C-alpha cells in the first residue's frame, strides 16, 4: 500500500468515525462501502443476498430502523438503496476471481459502532481534528471505523493487483459484531463454505507499538447475550404501595446479584448488566423493567456455568418482587483457536516488510469476538484461520469515550493482511 | 346542572381521556379548555400570564415539548396557539366578576395525565366504549380527565347563572399536579391572593358510592420529589471490567436500599424509586444512570426524616460503586389541613341535593396533592379551604392501567362544588 | 403503698436489674419471686403447675438452659429449686382468696430481660449507683425489672390488706414476654379462665411525667416471630468458589430485601431482621446461616401481608443463592382492644390519689405485647381488660443500652393498679 | 519409609483427624508432636522459643484459648504443657545436625484444622472407620492431619538415618496456616535464616493418582484476610424503628456488594465474606455486626485492587446504614515462585522410586498458602524453594465436609520429600 492508500484509509476512517451506526443500522456505512466496492473489479453483494434473515441475532426494532433510515436519507443515502437493505440486512461482500487456480482466501472486517457518547475533551484527537461523532450517543469506540478502512484498503489493493494474484479472494464487511449478532447470518449464506485461508484481526488490544503485530490470538471468551423483561403491577406509591409488584426492584436486585456470581477456578469469567430501563414515573410502583446483560467465559463450560447462574438469579429476582419475567438469548459467541501454522506463516510473510518491525507469535484477546463463528466454520471445512492483533498506542481503552488509535496502524494492518496473500506464504511453507 | 351538562361532562371527559398529556405538555388540553372558556362570560388567561415561569418545578426538556407540540399540531391545535404557551406554560384560568359585592370564591381542578400504558382489556370501559388513550404510554389514570370536565361544568354553570351570584369567582385549570410541580407556579402569579373560599377535590380515593362525598379531607402526605444522576466510567465488560465504575449498579443499589429506609413510628412514611434508566449496551460497564424517586410523610417531620435517609443512601450508593452523582429536588408537596367549618358548611349546603345522598365529615387521602400549596396560601391570607372527596366505585386503584370510574360522579362532584357557592352557605352559617 | 413499700420496690428492681435473664431462663428471678410470695398469705404456683409445656413458644435449647442454671447456682439458687423448673418452666403465680364473695381480679407483670449489652456510660444511673447488669450481653432494657417490682408490691399489699378486700385476686409473673412467647403457656393452664377484671400495663411508652398514667392503651401491633435456617454447600473460597452455594449471601440478601417490603396504606407495619449468624471462616463459602426476624402490623391483616411477603422473600433469597432453607414461626402476638369502661373507671378510682396527678383516657402503644393473648382470653370469657401506661421520663428508648426510668414510677404504677381493686370501682360504677 | 512407617503415618493421621484444632489452638496436636519428636535424635523447640509472639496474625481471643485448653486437658494434655504454650504459641520444630558439613535443608508441614462440621455420611471413610472428628464444628478438611503425619514420618526417618546424611536438617510443624496467619511468626524467629533448600507441599490439589506428584507449583494467590466490626444504634424494632442505625444491614449490604467487585482482566481474583454475626434479638435493631472476609489475586496487584475495592465497599455500607465501622487486617499471604531447578532435581531424585510413578514438572495451586512467606524468605537469602503436589484421588474438594484422601499418599509424599535429601540431588546436579 502506497501513501495514496494511506491517505485514503485515514479519510475513510474519519468519515465513518463521524457517522457511527450501531449494529443492524449501518446504512450509511453500507452505502459508502458498496459505492466504493462497485468501482473495483469484483462481484459485490449486499442486502438479503449477503445476509441470512433468520440467522440474525439481537435484531433492532422497526422504530430504530426507521430512525436510522431517516438519518441516512438526511445524510444523502438514496431511499432506493435503503429499501434494498430490507430492514436490517446491512454490510456487504466483494468476491474476486483471478481466473487462475489457487486457494480461496477470505478477509473479514467489522463495521458497526457502539452506543457510547464520545468524549468532547479538546485533547481527544477526533475533536481536535474535527471528525468527532455527529450521531448523538453513538461512537466508533472499538476501531471498527478503522477496520472498515482496512477492509476497503485490502479490497482496493486486490482489485489493482488482480493480475498478480491467483485463486479467489473474498472480503467481507460484517455488520453487528458488537453483541456477537452478525457473523452467523454471514456464515449461513455460505460465503465461507470453501475458504482455505481466513484472516481477520483487531486494532489495539495488546500493548504494542505501531509496526508490531501478533500473528495469532488466544483467549477468546465464549459469551451469551441476554435480555430480561420484568412485568409487575403498578400502583400509586403514596396511596397503595402494598398493591404494587415492583419490576424496577426486581431488575435492580437482579443487576446487583448477577455481578456477585462466584468467580470460576477454571479460568476467566465475566458478567455484566449493561442496560436497565424501568418504570415510568416516580410516584408509580414500576410495573415494567428491561435488563440487558451478558456472560462470558474463557471456555464454553465456564460460560455455561455463568449463564446457568444468571438464569437462576433472574428467576429469584422476579420471585423476590412477585413479578413475571421473560428471558431471551439475543447473541452467542464461541471460543476459537487460531491454527498454529500462522505463527510461522505470518512472520515469514512479513520478514522483509518495510512497515512491520516485530511479529509476536500470539497475544491474548481476553474478550469475545463474533469472528469466532467464522473461524470455527472455516476450520470445520478444513481451512486455516487466524486473527491478528495490529499494534498501536491507545488514548483510552476499547469502549471508552476517549478511545482513539494512531492512524498509522491502518497501513500496517493492511500490509499484515495482504503480505501472506501476495507471497502465498502458506504454499511456500507447504512446499518446504 | 341538568342532563345536558352531564352529557357534556361525559363527552369532555372522554375526549381528554383519549388524549392524555403528562405534566407541562398539556397543549391539547389547554387549547380545548381555552376554546370553551372563551365562549363564556369571563376573563380567560393562559401562557405566561397564567404561569410563573420560574416557579415551575420538574420542567420537561425541549425534546419532550417538541414531541408534544408536534402531536398537538397533528391533532389540530394551531401552531400559533402552541407558540402562546411558550414551552411549558400550560393550563388556564377563568375569572368571573358578578359586579356585586361578595366574597371571592376559587375552584381548582388539575388536568395532567400519567406516563402509564392503558389496559387493553376488553372489559376496560374506555376500550369497550372506544375512548381509550391514543397517546402511547400515557393515560388518565388519576381521574384528571374527569376533574377537567368538572371544572368546565363549574365554569359553564357560573357563566350561565352569573346574574344570580355575588362577588367574584375564579376557576383554575392547573397543569402538572402529578409530581407536585405546578401549584406553586399558579400561586406565585397571585390568582389566589385575595380568595376567601377555596374549593377543590378528587374523584374516588375513599370507598364511597356515587352520591356520597366527604366535605373535607385529612392525611395529606408531605412529599419531596427528587432526581439522581450517577456518573461513572465506562469500560469494556469483557476486556477490562476492573476499569469500569458502574453507574447502573450504583442506581440499582440505591433503589433497593431506598425501599429499606426504616418505617417511622410517628405516622405514615413512603418512599419510591419509580424510574431508573442506566447504561447503553450490555457489553459496556454503564457510566450513566438516572433515578427518579420520591419520599412522603404524614407530617413534615416524617418526610424530612425520609429525605435525609434517602440522601445518605444515595451518597453511599455512589461511594459503593466509586461514581459521582448529582441530587436534584424537582417537586415538593406540603401537608395541609382543611378548615373545620367545611364539615358543617358542606352538609348544610347539600342537605336538599337531589344528587348527593350522604355527606361524610372527612375522609383520609393518604397521598400527596399539589393543591396543598394553594390551600396553605389561601389560609395564610385568612381564607378558608377545603378538599372534598367525590364518591364513585373504581374498577382499579389510582395510577393502575385499568383505573376507571363511574361517570355519574362528574355531575355529583360539580353539584358538591357549586351548591356552597349558590347557597353562599358560609355567609348563612356566619349569620346564624 | 407507703414509703416502706417504695423502698422495697426500688431494691427489688435494682436486684433484678443486676441479674437480667432472657425469656425461659428466668431462674434467679423466679426463685427470688417465689421466695417472697411464699412469705405472703396466698397460694403460690410455679414450674409445670404454672406453665403449660406444649404451649411455650420460641423455647431455648438445652445448652442455653444449662448455662443459665449454672449461673443461677453460682448466684445461690438451690439445685433442687432449679430442678423444679424442669427446663424452661419459669415464672410464678400467687392466688388470694378473701373468702368473701366478689369478682375475680387478675394482675399480670412480665419478668424477662433482653439480649442487649448495657451501657457503661458513667452517667447511666445503674452504673452511677452500681446496680448495672452482671450478666454479659443481657439487660433489663424494657423495664421488666420494674414490672417485677410492681408485681411484688401489688402482691404484698394485697396480702397485708386481705381482710379489707372481697372476691379472689391473682397476680401473675409471666416469663418470656419478649418475642411474644410466654402468655399462651400461662393462659392454657387456666389461670385466667374465670377472671372478671384483668389489669396490666407498662412503664414508659408515652411521653408522660411521673404521676401521669393512661387508663387504657391502643395500637397494639399484631406480630409474627420467625427463624430461618439456610443450608448451602461449603467450598474453598480460593480454590473452588464456583462449587459453593452461599448460605451467608442468601441470609444477607433476605435481610436487606425484608426491610424493603412495601409500606401498607391501611396502617402501621413493621419488619426486622434482628439476628444473623452465618458461616464459619473467611476462606470457606458459608454453608449455613441463621436469621431471626419478625413482622408486625397495626391490624391482623397488615401483619398477615407482611409475613406473606417475608416468606416469599426468604424463598427467593434461597433460590437466588441455590441453597435450601427452613422457615419456623416461633412466636405470635395478637392485636387487642382495651374495654372502653376503663376510661371511666380508672380516672374515677384515682381521683383522690396523692400520687397520680393526671389520668389520660388512652395512649398508643405502637408495639406488640404478649399480654394481648391474655386480654383476648379474658374478654372472650366475658371479663373486662385494660393495659395502662405508667408515666416516667426515660433516659433512652426501650431496648436501648442506656434505657432507664425514674424509680418513682414504681409506686405510682402500683397505686394505679391497686386503687381500682380497693375501691371496687367497677361495682360502684355499675351501681350508678 | 517402610511399611511400619506407613502404618504409623496412618495412625498418626487418624488420631489427629479425630481431634481437629483450628489455628492457634493446636494444643493436643502440639503435645502429640512434641512427645514424638522428643523421642528422636534432634533438638525440639516449641512455645515462645518457636513462635515470635508479635508476628502472629489473626490471634484468637482468651475465651477461645481457654476452651481449647480445657478440651486438651480433658484429652490428657498435662496442664504444665499447656502453660508452656503461653496462649497461642502452638506448633513445634526439630533440628538435626549430622555433624558433617553440607547444606541446611528445611521441611515444613502445617497442622491446623478448619471450622467445618464433618460429614456424617456413612460412606465417608472417617465415619466408616470410626475416626471422625470428636470436636464439634471442627474438621481436618484440608489434609493437615495428613501433613502432620508426613512431617512426623520425615523426622522419624531422618532421626533413624542420621548417620547416612550430611549437613543440617530442620522439620517445621507450622500452626495457623489457614488464614495465612502463622508462617511469619515462624520466619521471624529465624528458623529459616540460613536454609539452602526448602521443601514443602500439599496433598491433593491437582487431579493426580497416588504415585503421581508435581515437582513444583505455580499460581499461588496473594491474599489479604480482614475483619470488620460495624457499630450502630439499637432501638425497639416495633416502637421506634426510625431511631435505629442498623449494623446487621450494613454487614449484609457489605457481604452482597463485596461479592460483586468486578473481575480483573489481568488474572484470577477472589473475594469471600465467610463469616457474619450480627444482632442479638429479632425485636431489636441490631447495633453490632462482625464480618470476616478475604481477597485474593494471582498477582500482588490484583489482590491490591480487590482489597482497595473491598475497603471502599465496606465504608459505603457503613455510610448506607449510618453506622461506624472498624476494619482490621488479620492475615496476608504472598505470591511466590518455585525455583526452576526443582523441575529437574525432583524427577532425577525420584527416577528409581518404587512409590512414585510419575513426576510432573509443575501444577497450579490456584489458592493461597502461608508457606509463600517462608519460600520468599529462603529465596531472599539465596536458598532454593519448592512446593510439591502429592497426588491422591479426593472424595470431595478441599474444605468440603466430606473431604477425604487415600492414605497411601502419606508414604509417597514422605518419599517425595526425603529422596532429594537422601540423594543430595542438588549437589549431584550442580556437579554435572
Give pLDDT tens digits for B116-175.
Answer: 999 999 999 999 999 999 999 999 999 999 999 999 999 999 999 999 999 999 999 999
Do D402 and D361 lie in one domain? The reply is yes
CA gap D252, C251 in Å, rounded: 8
pLDDT value of residue A1:
44
Per-residue pLDDT band for A3 (boundaries 50, 70, 90) equals: very low
Task: Please say whether the beta carbons of A402 and A396 come within 8 A.
Answer: yes
Residues B248, B288 share a domain: yes
- CATH, residue A267: 3.30.70.360
Indicate if the alpha-carbon torsion angle C131, C135, C139, C143 is positive or negative: negative
Distance CA B362, CA B353 (A): 19
Mean pLDDT, rounded, for B70-88: 96
Beta-carbon separation of D241 and B260 below 8 A: no
Residues of A (66-95) whose Cβ lies below 8 Å from B: none
Are B373 and B247 contained in the same domain?
Answer: no
Question: Where does a domain end: B299, B333, B367?
Answer: B333
Distance from C-alpha of B136 to C-alpha of B22, rounded to nearest angstrom: 12
Confidence check: pLDDT of D3 > 60: no
B223 touches chain C (CB under 8 A): no
Mean pLDDT, chain C, whole residue set: 94
Contact at CB, D320 and B257, closer than 8 angstroms: yes
- CATH number of the domain enclosing C62: 3.40.630.10
Burial per residue of A268-286, b for 16 or more beta-carbon CB atoms within 10 angstroms, e otherwise:
bbbbbbbbbbbbbbbbbbb
Number of A/B CB contacts below 8 angstroms equals: 235
Interface size between A and C, measured as CB pairs under 8 A: 57
Backbone angles phi, psi at C233, to 5 degrees: -130, 125
Q: What is the pLDDT of residues D74-98, one digit of tens each?
A: 999 999 999 999 999 999 999 999 9
H-type helices in D102-181, by residue range?
125-128, 144-160
Q: Quick one: DSSP state of residue B276? A: E
Percent of chain D with pLDDT over 70: 97
C-alpha cell of residue A208: 504494542
Distance CA D274, CA D292 (A): 6
Structural domain ending residue among the three candidates B333, B357, B384: B333
A165 and A304, same structural domain? no
Distance CA(C22)–CA(C139), nearest Å, equals: 8
Residue C1 pLDDT: 44
Alpha-carbon distance of C143 to B63, in angstroms, equals 62
| Residue D145 contacts C, CB cutoff 8 Å | no
The full length of chain C comes to 432
What's the rounded mean pLDDT across residues B174-179? 95
Number of Cβ within a 10 Å radius of residue C352: 9
Cβ of B241 within 8 Å of Cβ of D265? The answer is: yes
Q: Are residues A10 and A100 in the same domain?
A: yes
Same domain flag for C54 and C106? yes
Q: Domain boundary at B333, B356, B387, which?
A: B333
- Angstrom distance (rounded) from CA A24 to CA A111: 10
Q: Is A403 helix (H, G, I), strand (E, B) or coil?
A: coil
More confident residue, C220 or B131: B131
Q: CB A320 to CB C317 under 8 A? A: yes
Query: What is the pLDDT, as a whole number, of residue A306?
Result: 97
Q: Chain C neighbours among D 271-310 (CB < 8 Å)?
A: 272-287, 289, 292-294, 296
Give all strands (DSSP E) within A322-375, no chain letters. 324-333, 358-367
**From CA B62, how far away is CA A171, in angstroms rounded?**
45
List all residues of chain B from 311 to 330 with a beta carbon under 8 Å from chain A.
Answer: none
| Max CA separation in chain D (angstroms) | 83
The residue to which cell 475497603 is assigned? D311
Residues of C with Cβ-Cβ distance to A266 under 8 angstroms: 242
Do residue D271 and residue D393 come from a single domain?
Answer: no
Q: Do B109 and B173 form a contact (C-beta atoms < 8 A)? A: yes
Residues C236 and C97 in one domain: no
Structural domain count of chain B? 2
CB B271 within 8 A of CB B293: yes
Residue C238 vs residue D199, higher pLDDT: D199
Q: What are phi and psi of C93, to 5 degrees?
A: -145, 145
Cβ-Cβ contacts under 8 Å, D251 against chain B: none
Strand partners, D275: D292
Integer Cα distance of B394 and D63 in angstroms: 65
| Residues A215 and A364 sit within 8 Å (Cβ to Cβ) | no
Return d(Cα B260, Cα C34) in angstroms, integer: 45
- Rounded to 5 degrees, what angle do the CA atoms C351, C353, C354 make? 140
SS3 C222: strand
Q: What is the DSSP string of A271-298?
A: EEEEEEEE-S-TTB---EEEEEEEEEES
Using a CB-CB distance cutoff of 8 angstroms, which residues of chain D are in contact with residue B317? 316, 320
- Show residues of chain C in contact with A316, CB under 8 Å: 316-317, 319-320
For residues B348 and B345, give the distance between their C-alpha atoms in angstroms, rounded to a whole number. 5
A142, three cell numbers: 472499538
Q: What is the ipTM of this complex?
A: 0.73
**Residues of A in Cβ contact (< 8 Å) with B248:** 255, 273-276
pLDDT bucket at C3, cuts 50 / 70 / 90: very low
Q: Return left, alpha or beta for D58; rule: phi > 0 is left, psi -120 to 50 is alpha, else beta.
A: left
- Using CB atoms, which chains have 3+ pairs under 8 A with D? A, B, C
Same domain, C215 and C272: no
What whole-number distance in Å separates Cα of residue C199 and Cα of residue C106? Answer: 6
In degrees, to the nearest 5, what angle opens at C-alpha C9 toward C-alphas C3 and C15? 140
Is residue A87 within 8 Å of A25, Cβ to Cβ?
no
Domain that holds residue B266: 222-333
Between residues C206 and D107, which one has the greater pLDDT? D107
pLDDT tier at A430, thresholds 50, 70, 90 = low
B53 with B148, same domain: the answer is yes
**Do D243 and D127 belong together in one domain?**
no
Question: Is residue B117 packed enough to be buried (19+ CB in 10 Å), middle (13-18) or exposed (0-12)?
Answer: middle
pLDDT above 70 for B203? yes
H-type alpha helices, B283-370: 300-320, 342-349
pLDDT tens digits for D62-78? 999 999 999 999 999 99
Regarding whether D235 and D127 lie in a shared domain, the answer is: no
Of D29, D318, D24, residue with least CA distance to D182? D24
Cα separation, B263 vs C263, in Å, equals 8
Q: Which residue has the cell 378486700?
A: C165
> According to the model, what pLDDT value does residue A397 have?
84
Where residue C432 falls among pLDDT bands split at 50, 70, 90? very low
- pLDDT of B347: 94
∠ CA D394-D395-D397, rounded to 5°: 70
Tell whether B207 lies on the interface with A, counting CB pairs under 8 A.
no
Query: In angstroms, rounded to a whole number, what is the distance separating the alpha carbons of residues B368 and A239?
Result: 8
Give the tens place of pLDDT for each residue, A200-214: 999 998 678 999 999
The radius of gyration computed from the CA coordinates of chain A, to the nearest angstrom, equals 23
Percent of chain C exceeding pLDDT 70 equals 97
Amino acid at each position: 500500500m502506497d501513501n495514496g492508500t494511506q491517505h485514503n484509509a485515514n479519510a475513510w476512517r474519519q468519515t465513518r468515525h463521524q457517522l457511527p451506526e450501531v449494529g443492524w443500522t449501518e446504512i450509511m456505512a453500507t452505502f459508502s462501502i458498496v459505492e466504493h466496492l462497485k468501482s473495483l473489479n469484483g462481484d459485490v453483494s449486499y442486502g438479503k443476498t449477503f445476509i441470512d434473515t433468520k440467522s440474525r441475532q439481537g435484531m433492532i426494532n422497526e422504530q430504530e430502523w426507521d430512525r436510522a433510515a431517516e438519518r441516512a436519507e438526511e445524510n444523502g443515502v438514496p431511499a432506493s438503496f435503503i429499501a434494498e437493505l430490507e430492514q436490517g440486512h446491512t454490510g456487504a461482500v466483494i468476491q474476486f476471481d483471478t481466473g487462475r487456480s489457487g486457494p480461496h482466501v477470505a478477509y473479514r472486517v467489522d463495521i458497526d459502532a457502539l452506543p457510547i457518547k464520545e468524549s468532547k475533551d479538546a485533547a481527544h484527537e477526533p475533536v481536535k481534528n474535527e471528525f468527532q461523532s455527529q450521531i448523538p450517543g453513538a461512537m466508533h469506540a472499538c476501531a471498527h471505523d478503522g477496520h472498515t478502512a482496512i477492509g476497503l484498503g485490502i479490497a482496493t489493493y486486490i482489485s489493482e493487483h488482480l493480475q498478480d494474484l491467483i485463486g479467489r479472494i473474498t472480503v467481507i464487511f460484517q455488520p453487528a459484531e458488537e453483541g456477537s449478532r452478525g457473523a452467523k447470518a454471514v456464515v449461513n449464506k455460505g460465503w465461507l463454505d470453501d475458504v482455505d485461508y481466513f484472516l481477520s484481526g483487531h486494532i489495539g488490544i495488546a500493548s504494542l507499538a505501531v509496526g508490531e503485530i501478533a500473528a495469532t490470538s488466544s483467549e477468546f471468551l465464549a459469551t451469551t447475550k441476554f435480555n430480561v423483561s420484568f412485568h409487575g403491577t403498578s400502583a400509586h406509591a403514596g396511596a397503595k404501595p402494598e398493591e404494587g409488584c415492583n419490576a424496577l426492584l426486581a431488575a435492580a436486585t437482579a443487576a446487583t446479584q448477577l455481578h456477585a456470581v462466584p468467580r470460576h477456578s477454571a479460568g476467566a469469567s465475566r458478567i455484566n448488566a449493561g442496560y436497565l430501563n424501568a418504570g415510568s414515573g416516580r410516584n408509580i410502583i414500576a410495573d415494567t423493567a428491561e435488563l440487558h446483560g451478558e456472560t462470558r467465559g474463557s471456555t464454553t463450560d465456564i460460560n455455561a456455568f455463568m449463564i446457568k447462574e444468571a438464569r437462576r438469579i433472574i428467576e429469584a429476582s422476579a420471585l423476590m418482587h412477585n413479578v413475571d419475567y421473560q428471558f431471551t438469548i439475543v447473541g452467542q459467541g464461541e471460543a476459537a483457536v487460531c491454527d498454529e501454522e500462522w505463527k510461522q506463516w505470518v512472520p515469514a510473510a512479513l520478514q522483509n516488510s518495510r512497515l512491520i518491525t516485530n511479529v509476536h507469535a500470539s497475544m491474548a484477546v481476553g474478550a469475545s469476538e463474533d469472528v469466532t463463528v467464522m473461524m470455527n466454520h472455516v476450520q470445520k471445512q478444513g481451512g486455516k484461520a487466524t486473527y491478528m492483533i495490529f499494534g498501536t498506542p491507545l488514548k483510552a481503552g476499547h469502549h471508552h469515550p476517549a478511545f482513539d488509535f494512531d492512524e498509522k496502524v491502518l497501513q500496517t494492518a493492511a500490509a499484515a493482511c495482504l503480505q501472506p496473500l501476495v507471497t502465498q506464504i502458506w504454499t511456500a511453507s507447504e512446499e518446504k
